[in-house]
Structure 1
Amino acid sequence: MIRATAMVLGLILAAPAWGRDCPPPPDHAGEISALLDRLARAGDPVQAQRLMNALWALWFDAPDARAQDLLDRAMERRAAGQGDEALALLDQLVEECPDYAEGWNQRAFIHYLQGAHAAALAGLDATLAREPSHVGALAGRALALMALGRDAEARRALDAALARNPWLPERGLIEAPGTDI
């Protein structure tokens, strides 16, 4: 009995940190709102890109050092073309910190890159449930919906993204010959 208890205790202590008490994501709502207001009125693509970079910096601010490490390592793996390894790290991040929108968003992006458009859409919806004005997730949602042949929904998602950033590269999809959105 003592040996069995020791084995179970050892397994628990050796288990990954899933289900840990991840702190809430940093509250950047005021800064994000102000940047989005400026972004919607950006006069040119250069100004819009600067504002988007500032938004990305806020969205990439993880809840704690462990979450930041998982996100940073996932982004390094993605940049190195190691999508499966990046996805595994993002799966862990989402499991440990389910309220952190950017974990969901980056995982959705990996799914999209791998052609798993339904999984990408689910992740983007999870992102938007946590961060409704996430311009990147709105644009990504439009692309995933287009890939799934759901053009009317894609158009609505793209319109919502363009209302926040009229300079998104995806705006060309509206004017592109042969597109229905």
Structure 2
Amino acid sequence: MDRLYAELADPENADWPRAQADILREWSKSGSPAMDLLLQRGQDALAIGDFPAAIEHLTALIDQAPEFAEGWNARATAYFHAGYFGPSLVDIQHALALNPRHFGALAGLGMILEASGKTDQAQRAYAASLAIHPHQDGIRQALDRLEQESSGTEL
């Protein structure tokens, strides 16, 4: 994984999408086919916008595999889309405790902090995500926008 993270972090690496795909694939492996199925069901429910079903599947996953960071991250995403920022933050904290290099969890943290008006903290979360994965254009744009807003505009 260290090699993949190094490849991903290299802003000059044109092959970063492969490194990202390999990292995401590794993150999705719980070590149990049954747990992987729960993750897939949760992700499928997320994809169609059925947030209650996603939360239900992912809660079952977390209950059975609390050491699986991607379960926490996926449920944080479901909570976020359902408008439950508090539970989403709690799950992000669990995901990051288990996988401190989870750039997706850091990006999600930034989004929640930004939506909550905590722009300084959001900037730090976005910057931390970009330090791991500098190829996230949407996160780069969010950070640039917040930095521009915080610096003000000269007249």
Instruction: Indicate how the Cα distance of structure 1 residues 145 and 99 shifts in structure 2: closer, same or farther if over 3 A, else same.
Output: same
Q: Which amino acid aligns with 2:99?
A: E
Provide the secondary structure at the position in 2 that maps to 1:176: helix
Query: Per-residue deviation at 1:147?
Result: 1.4
Cα distance change of structure 1 residues 172 and 66 upon mapping to structure 2, 3 Å threshold? same
Task: Pick closer, same or farther for the CA change 1:61–1:179 going to 2, 3 Å.
Answer: farther
Report the Cα distance in structure 1 between the residues aligned to 2:105 and 2:15, rounded to whole angstroms: 20
Structure 1 CA distance for aligned equivalents of residues 104 and 16 of structure 2: 13
Rg larger in structure: 1
Residue 50 of structure 1, CA deviation: 2.5
Higher share of residues assigned helix = 2
**TM-score under structure 1 length normalisation:** 0.76
Q: Within 2, Cα distance between the matches of 1:179 and 1:84? A: 35
Q: Percent identity?
A: 29
Aligned with residue 110 of structure 1, among 75, 78, 93: 78
Once residues 20 and 109 of structure 2 are traced to their aligned partners in structure 1, the CA distance between those partners, rounded to angstroms, is: 17
Coordinate RMSD, CA, aligned: 1.8
Give structure 1 stretches of 5+ with no counterpart: 1-31
Per the normalisation by structure 2, the TM-score is 0.88
Matched to 2:145, the amino acid is: A
CA distances 1:114-137 after superposition (whole Å, capped 9, x unpaired): 121121111111100000111111
Q: 1:152: how far off?
A: 1.4
Q: Which runs of 4+ in 1 moved over 3 A?
A: 177-181
1:89-136 Cα shifts (integer Å, max 9, x gaps): 001111111000000000000111112112111111110000011111
Count of aligned pairs between the two proteins: 149
